[in-house]
Structure 1
Amino acid sequence: MKRVNKRSKKRDENNGAANVANDPFSTIPLELKLEILMRSPPRSIARLRLASKHMSSIIGGKDFTELYTARSSSQPRRLLFSVHRGSDKQQTHFFHSCSLDDPSDSDHHDNVSYTMDPDLRYSFSPPIRGLICGRNGIKMIIGNPSTGQFVLLPRIKTRKKDIFSAFGYDPVNNVYKVLCMTLKTKRGNPHIISRDMLWDDYLWEDMSEEHQVITVGAKQKWRMIECKYLHRHDSGSVGICRDGVVYYLASYKQKRSLMSFDLSSEEFNVTKLPEDYHLEQFGHMVNHSGKITIASMAYGGPIDLWVLEDVKKQVWSKSAKVVPSCRDIFRENDQFMFKGILGTGEIIFSPIPSPNPFFFLCYDPKEKNVRKVFVQGIGDDESAAIQVQLFFDHVESYMFL
């Protein structure tokens, strides 16, 4: 018969009682715990996860993760601002989010700071399912703007300086991935040259090379992949992820095209753009209507929206001109970038460069009026320079890295 150590048994009972006293959640029914957590903001959930092993097991469990993700996805999307604020004494970086439909409502604002290397200014890709990716040269970070948690990725394997990067989510394998490409100079054939091409443009043509992918995770590392389409990514293009595919603008066979990269199969593809001069020369991708959309705005004139309705059939639709003329909205010397359309139908323009205090313009195409929206919490010292990136459709998440 096994002997029972009464002292050990009593010690375990005392420790159990102490754990219950220190963790009041242990006495609450599971259904009520989930309800409390579902109503908590991401930063509070991050703190509760560290409170005890019991809470960590619930928050890290599959059931709660699916419930919280479904709830966040059903909530109204938010605007997200990445703000770099610099002065002679101090440089800081923080993220600010607010209501997408009513940016001026101060009751729905959130501010999360993150201490970065003051010598580095990260350029961020659009957020995906609550996470965001930033790059400065060959240095990259992945983080959660809602909790302030950021981690460094391994440095990109390249010596080139011209790098394109895009961030996306692979729903098939439930992982996040980053795509990176560099440029190389390809010598052209001087005996084969079109009249429509400049000699210098053909003789020295920059093409993408060193295609690399990294899967965000514990054993993350960069992997070289092949691309059968010889193309050149637009240096100013931003990659946008839709349904497990990253899209970006590029030049392919001397024509501007839409490139796509399937995050699951890790294969590239090309989609032709409609035959439109302004689209090819001035078009840039925007976040609009849940579909890949290219906005073209030339010389301050009207804006055309080209929407990719069917990816496989390469069917595009052109919407009505959403602005009579940008000259009717802006002063002659002002520069603004079209960013997208709110749920209210208002069109957002972001000023270039970023003003301090920061504001953006909302234009109502029905009422034909424009309003200036100052975002509280972004830039309160006019002596400090700020650099602001604006993103649509941000979803709050408590995800840990």
Structure 2
Amino acid sequence: MKKRGRKSKKPEEKRDEYDPSSILPLELKIEILMKSPPKSIAKLGFVSNHWSSIIRSQVFTDLYMRRSLAQPRLLFSVYRPNMQMQFFHSCSQEDPSSDHRSVSYTLNPDLRYSFSPPIGGLIFGQNNTKAMIGNPSTGQFVPLPRIKTQRKHIFSIFGYDPVNDLYKVLCMTVRTLRGPHYFRWEDPMWEEPMTEEHQVFTLGPKQKWRMLECKYLHRHHSGSQGICRDGVMYYLASFNDKRSLMSFDLSSEEFHVTKLPEDYILQQFGNMVDHSGKIAIVSQAYSGPMDLWVLEDASKEEWSKVAALVPSIDTYRCMH
């Protein structure tokens, strides 16, 4: 059965005798919303069913998303343990002094969430099996169902699927991290235990985690955060005793493996970044230049190398 593409439908205009604004043309209402700050939009959605239907419509969502992407902002997150508060401050890249907003979120004093970089205006926070998705512009945070696992060590990535217009969370769990009593001579010391459970959560009406199968038995590298780009999640892992780049297609929900360049420093100390819209891995030893390996073509496993001269760690040690 073929899946039909989603079309943006205009929200039905229903007159509300108790809401004078209902007589305004739909185009004018959308224009008013587009010029309103995020907090005002969120409040309108709560106090009026009429405005809520417009705000939740695909037409307004698409317009608001396009405008937001055309005006990128910087997001700062500050945690204050003495107040059990998580503060979020966003500002314009062009004029940070005048165009800025701040919101706060009250946390459970026994829980401290680690938040991922924003994607499409939303952020993902996690503390072991507890997780949430929030909008730092409006201060709205929604708790997700508990992650289905008895294990304590969890690695999650938050991303957006542009094909199906869905936000998803990929979660991987392991039995236990290696401690001082775990050692085998044939294993490299940096390797992590095998990732044994794979789950995915789709933001929507069906609030549940779904188990996935992965045919690649690998170890995710817990020291590096994942990155989502163009509907694909990327993270560093060990596969067949070699460090590799794992990818997860959010549309097909399939895993893939990409070989890393044969570089000793990259294999040991590489970390992933987004470089001009492409996935890249930074590689630097304690001295010498910093190498940036850019993934040019994942299907052909083609990488390009960019060298950048930066001070060595010894230089920073001499600074006071």
Does structure 2 retain, via aligned residues, the 8 Å contact 1:230–1:252? Answer: yes
Distance, in Å, in 2 between the alignment partners of 1:50 and 1:161 is: 37
Distance, in Å, in 2 between the alignment partners of 1:224 and 1:149 is: 28
Shift in alpha-carbon separation, 1:306–1:16, aligned structure 2, 3 A: closer
Counterpart of 2:78 in structure 1 is 83
For the residue of structure 2 that corresponds to 1:146, the secondary structure is: coil
AA in 1 matched with 2:295? L
Q: Is 33-42 or 269-278 further displaced after alignment?
A: 33-42
1:127-138 to structure 2, matched below 5 A, reads: 127-138=118-129
Deviation at 1:283, TM superposition (A): 1.0
- TM-score scaled to structure 1, two decimals? 0.69
User: 2:223 is matched with which residue: 218, 227, 236?
Assistant: 236
Residue deviations 1:189-234, cap 9 Å, x none? Answer: xxxxxxxx934659x9711101111112222211111111010001
Distance, in Å, in 2 between the alignment partners of 1:101 and 1:297 is: 32
Deviation at 1:93, TM superposition (A): 0.8
Counterpart of 1:339 in structure 2 is none
Does structure 2 retain, via aligned residues, the 8 Å contact 1:295–1:304? Answer: yes
Counterpart of 2:133 in structure 1 is 142
For the residue of structure 2 that corresponds to 1:50, the secondary structure is: helix
Shift in alpha-carbon separation, 1:301–1:101, aligned structure 2, 3 A: farther
What residue ranges of structure 1 are gaps of 5+ in the alignment? 1-14, 187-196, 335-401
Q: Is 280-289 or 128-137 further displaced after alignment?
A: 280-289
Residue deviations 1:275-299, cap 9 Å, x none? Answer: 1122111111123311111112322
Deviation at 1:29, TM superposition (A): 3.2
Distance, in Å, in 1 between the alignment partners of 2:89 and 2:192 is: 40
Distance, in Å, in 2 between the alignment partners of 1:220 and 1:85 is: 30
Counterpart of 1:93 in structure 2 is 86
AA in 1 matched with 2:55? I
1:215 aligns with 2:211: no
Counterpart of 1:325 in structure 2 is 311
Q: Is 296-305 or 111-120 further displaced after alignment?
A: 296-305
Deviation at 1:331, TM superposition (A): 5.1
- TM-score scaled to structure 2, two decimals? 0.85
Counterpart of 2:12 in structure 1 is none
Give the fraction of aligned pairs with identical amino acids, expressed as a percent.
66
For the residue of structure 2 that corresponds to 1:36, the secondary structure is: helix
Counterpart of 2:27 in structure 1 is 31
Shift in alpha-carbon separation, 1:71–1:252, aligned structure 2, 3 A: same
Counterpart of 2:110 in structure 1 is 119
Distance, in Å, in 2 between the alignment partners of 1:267 and 1:54 is: 40
Distance, in Å, in 2 between the alignment partners of 1:309 and 1:301 is: 24
Shift in alpha-carbon separation, 1:127–1:279, aligned structure 2, 3 A: same
Does structure 1 retain, via aligned residues, the 8 Å contact 2:286–2:314? Answer: no
For the residue of structure 2 that corresponds to 1:113, the secondary structure is: strand
Shift in alpha-carbon separation, 1:16–1:71, aligned structure 2, 3 A: closer
1:57-72 to structure 2, matched below 5 A, reads: 57-72=53-68
Distance, in Å, in 1 between the alignment partners of 2:176 and 2:127 is: 22
Q: CA RMSD in A?
A: 2.5
Residue deviations 1:45-76, cap 9 Å, x none? Answer: 1112223222122222222221111111112x
Counterpart of 1:46 in structure 2 is 42
Does structure 1 retain, via aligned residues, the 8 Å contact 2:130–2:146? Answer: yes
What residue ranges of structure 2 are gaps of 5+ in the alignment? 1-14, 178-183
Distance, in Å, in 2 between the alignment partners of 1:115 and 1:205 is: 34
Distance, in Å, in 1 between the alignment partners of 2:29 and 2:97 is: 29
Shift in alpha-carbon separation, 1:333–1:166, aligned structure 2, 3 A: farther
Distance, in Å, in 2 between the alignment partners of 1:82 and 1:161 is: 25
Shift in alpha-carbon separation, 1:36–1:265, aligned structure 2, 3 A: same
1:1-400 to structure 2, matched below 5 A, reads: 19=18, 23-75=19-71, 77-87=72-82, 90-100=83-93, 105-184=96-175, 198-199=185-186, 201=188, 206-299=193-286, 301-321=288-308, 323-327=309-313, 330=316, 332=318
For the residue of structure 1 that corresponds to 2:252, the secondary structure is: coil
Distance, in Å, in 2 between the alignment partners of 1:329 and 1:175 is: 46
Deviation at 1:166, TM superposition (A): 0.7
